[in-house]
Structure 1
Amino acid sequence: MEIISIIVLFVSFFALLLIKVPVAYSIGISTTLSLLLNIDKLPGITTIAQRMTTGIDSFALLAIPFFVLAGEIMKQGGIANRLINFAKSLVASLPGGLAYVNVLASMLFGAISGSAVAAASAIGSIMTDRMEEEGYPRALSASVNITSSTTGLLIPPSNILIVYALASGGTASVAALFIAGYLPGILLGFAIMGYIAFIAINRRYPKGERSTFSEIWTYFRKAFFSLLLLIVVVGGIVAGIFTATEASVIAVLYAAVLSLVYGDIKVKDFPSILLSSGKTTSVVMFLICTSMAMSWLFSFEGIPEMISSFLLDSLNNKFAIFLAINIILLIVGTFMDMTPAVLIFTPIFLPVVTTLGMDPVHFGIVIVLNLCIGICTPPVGTLLFVGSGVANVSVTKVIKSLVPFLLIMIAVLMLISFIPEISMFLPNLFEL
């Protein structure tokens, strides 16, 4: 009966995805159908409802709606423009300078807002037109924007790292994950910049004017309080002054006061901001509900143990196992959103990698970077569609330009997967 339940679970899930049923509903329906093969209808449905409810009964998850709200305030509060101007003053004079500005601004805004989608829409809407004026194809601008926006999911504060901390069952703390994401996120940003330098020199893209120290200082002062949010939030968590959840509330208050002081938003704008962030939060929380139910069903059916035994018995080389897990996650990422993927596959693969000596914090960075690549690729590719829409370019044109950037992201993924010191240097330094 267990094998039949597993078959029904996966067949129904993929069938629902193929007919374009939303991911959260696909997860919930397939989980319910599979469980009803083992127990009666009433207790089965009650169990699913109970697992969905208890799945979000976590203090740590309170950080997500607040970080979403903080990101929405920043998106509408003029912070993106200040970060772009500061980034431009630093790197615009280099070959392909505006593309560097796009990457650096996306890294800064994505890190501050904790949202790749917010970074792609806020930075892309400003930079695409500027880059086109200097001869950059819109498809290239979109590709730079899409891939560089993922760095904000690694550089803290990051909602998806909070979700992973929940899925890891407490074996990886939010503070350790936050500090571990810095070097991989920065490495990814620099790798994208390296490819931009290569094509900028070959295609002779223009250089911008070199900023004087006085101009750099002026733009830094204007962006200072936006950048300070990173130090306040992450520094407070690492120092143990407050938890990630408390930090998210501080981020909201800080962003709201800063945006009001800048004068870019008014008090009357807050109802629409709250409504927009509420919609985003409801989608994320519903995904978490259904994903936690499916994760429980996996445990109920013994799927993690089956996969763990299969991998450990069939691939006795730990490098081969790590590579196989990476390939599976890359495939999963192409058709599943990050939140359910983390919640569903962490309990499956975490026991395998920890058995082989991989730190749970390191694996958290690996799984998130895998899924960062997934949200840049079709058919689901949330970031791909947002970036293409903002740039007003067809997805087909963007994909052609996007391929080299995806290969660079995969190369960085391999480095981070097999060189754990990249992720673990800072957590070990701070003894987290």
Structure 2
Amino acid sequence: MISLTLFGLFILFLLVGTPIAISLGLASTAALIISGKVGTNFIPQGLVTSIDSFPLMAVPFFILSGELMGQGGLSQRLLNTGKIFFGRYSGGLAIIAVATCVFFAAISGSGPATVAAIGAILFPAMAREGYRPSFSAGLVASAGSLGVIIPPSIPMVIYATSANVSVTKMFMAGIIPGLLIGVSLILFAWWQSRRDGQKPQSERISGREALVILWDAKWALLVPVIILGGIYGGIFTPTEAAAVGVAYGLIVGLFIYRELKLRTLYKIFASAALTTATVMLIVGTATVFGRVLAIERIPAMLAELVTETVSNPLVLLAILNVLLLIIGTFMETLAAIIIMTPILLPLVTALGISPEHFGIIMIVNLAIGMVTPPVGVNLFVASRVAQISLTDVIRGAMRPLVLLLILLLIITYVPGLSLWLPSLLGM
């Protein structure tokens, strides 16, 4: 009865258009009232204690640093750098779009932020070069999913907090899968552009011009070196690295590139604060929802049921992939991680699957959910930035989506892709 109330009301609220954070909170409150095991003051206490976490402090800092770097001129200089290396190939701008998403993912930690920052600059340029708008938007929407796979990643911070694993180790585990997806999307962009008859860009960059562009972009290129190098080198924690990213973005945007103006800082800080408030509200209510599940022993009973019926880890991973793909299609990424981690993690660890490997599998699944309707947030962002219909964006994202699903299977069944780098560094 409690499970039916909890999940039934949650699904009902979502179907009538209630925001996910409110849906989670109302469903949890109703289940607690019916259960009577704990008082309703459990809800406000849970909202406070769930976000009282040092690793979670990285989330608002990564959100703000992504905003500052996106509007401070760093994304434009990354694109200029991409033209040096990929402009001479067929479909050069398409390749540059993916390559820049890979690089910007190592700055922003967010999928939608990556799509917005890169798409706003590239979509007009790709349209002038004759690229189909649906192809451009679908490609950038798909490549934007790298924002949550390549570290630093906000969902990785949330998963590490929920699963009680090291944030640094999760970041390390995401590097090779993220680069694999990035390289694969680059090859797809080249192949599809050749099929469409796309020529290399007309402008040629001389050696002298290339040196000038690289020198101008050095501050943008140093961002992942400073942030990730500082984390893996033990200089600072991921949370401290996020704060360093904010300071770096402010200094570079205000005093070096001078594209950040004091009058625009209010809007940037307000936007980051609004996004942070939304994220933290989802984190709080989703954590309460998960604790209600734990009170009712739903994860433990599910674990016992599955371990009695499924003894093969490969079969279990296939089942979980299907489940997570469906969940990612309908549920916001952070809420899905907080709710599903305490339910699914006991299942995979019971069969000897590493929590870090499972974390990467979950995040890649939910990243794919960002480019699948109806809750495909990257699709909506790409549609708005490119000013084309959502249907056209979905059409352009279909082939990259198939590629992402194939790569998901490879990442799932080759755990070394996720675990080799952490083990190499003794983590």
TM class by shorter-chain length?
over 0.9
Which residue of 179, 186, 201 corresponds with 2:194?
201
Q: CA deviation at 1:210?
A: 5.2
**Structure-2 residue corresponding to 1:192:** 185
Equivalent position SS for 2:217: helix
8 Å contact kept, 2:311–2:351: no
**Structure-1 residue corresponding to 2:40:** 45
8 Å contact kept, 2:136–2:396: no
Please give the per-residue CA displacement for 1:144-170, whole angstroms capped at 9, x wherever unaligned: 1101111121111111111111010x2
**Structure-2 residue corresponding to 1:124:** 119
**Structure-1 residue corresponding to 2:245:** 251
Are residues 1:264 and 2:245 paired?
no
CA distance in 2 between counterparts of 1:215 and 1:338 reads 42
Amino acid at match of 2:234: G
Q: CA deviation at 1:300?
A: 0.8
Which residue of 5, 10, 16 corresponds with 1:8?
5
In the comparison of the two structures, how many residue pairs are matched? 425
8 Å contact kept, 2:149–2:367: no
Are residues 1:36 and 2:33 paired?
yes
203-212 or 84-93, which deviates more: 203-212
Change (3 A) 1:340 1:199: same
Q: CA deviation at 1:212?
A: 4.1
CA distance in 2 between counterparts of 1:394 and 1:311 reads 42
8 Å contact kept, 2:21–2:285: yes
CA distance in 2 between counterparts of 1:301 and 1:196 reads 48
8 Å contact kept, 1:288–1:343: yes
CA distance in 1 between counterparts of 2:195 and 2:64 reads 42
8 Å contact kept, 1:89–1:215: no
**Structure-2 residue corresponding to 1:112:** 107
Which residue of 386, 393, 401 corresponds with 1:391?
386
**Structure-2 residue corresponding to 1:182:** 175
CA distance in 2 between counterparts of 1:348 and 1:79 reads 40
Q: CA deviation at 1:220?
A: 2.1
**Structure-1 residue corresponding to 2:158:** 163
CA distance in 1 between counterparts of 2:223 and 2:122 reads 23
8 Å contact kept, 2:91–2:190: yes
Please give the per-residue CA displacement for 1:369-407, whole angstroms capped at 9, x wherever unaligned: 100011111111111100111111111121122111111
8 Å contact kept, 1:111–1:153: no
RMSD between aligned alpha carbons?
1.3
Gaps of 5+ in 1: none
Structure 2-normalised TM-score? 0.97
Q: CA deviation at 1:227?
A: 2.0
Q: CA deviation at 1:330?
A: 0.3
Structure 1-normalised TM-score? 0.96
**Structure-2 residue corresponding to 1:305:** 300
Q: CA deviation at 1:270?
A: 1.6
8 Å contact kept, 2:111–2:378: yes
**Structure-2 residue corresponding to 1:230:** 224
Q: CA deviation at 1:310?
A: 2.1
Are residues 1:326 and 2:326 paired?
no
8 Å contact kept, 1:295–1:344: yes
Gaps of 5+ in 2: none
Are residues 1:148 and 2:150 paired?
no
Are residues 1:21 and 2:18 paired?
yes
Which residue of 277, 287, 290 corresponds with 1:292?
287
Are residues 1:71 and 2:69 paired?
no
Q: CA deviation at 1:279?
A: 0.4
CA distance in 2 between counterparts of 1:313 and 1:400 reads 42
Are residues 1:348 and 2:343 paired?
yes
Equivalent position SS for 1:334: helix
8 Å contact kept, 2:142–2:400: yes
Which residue of 90, 94, 98 corresponds with 1:103?
98
Amino acid at match of 2:36: I
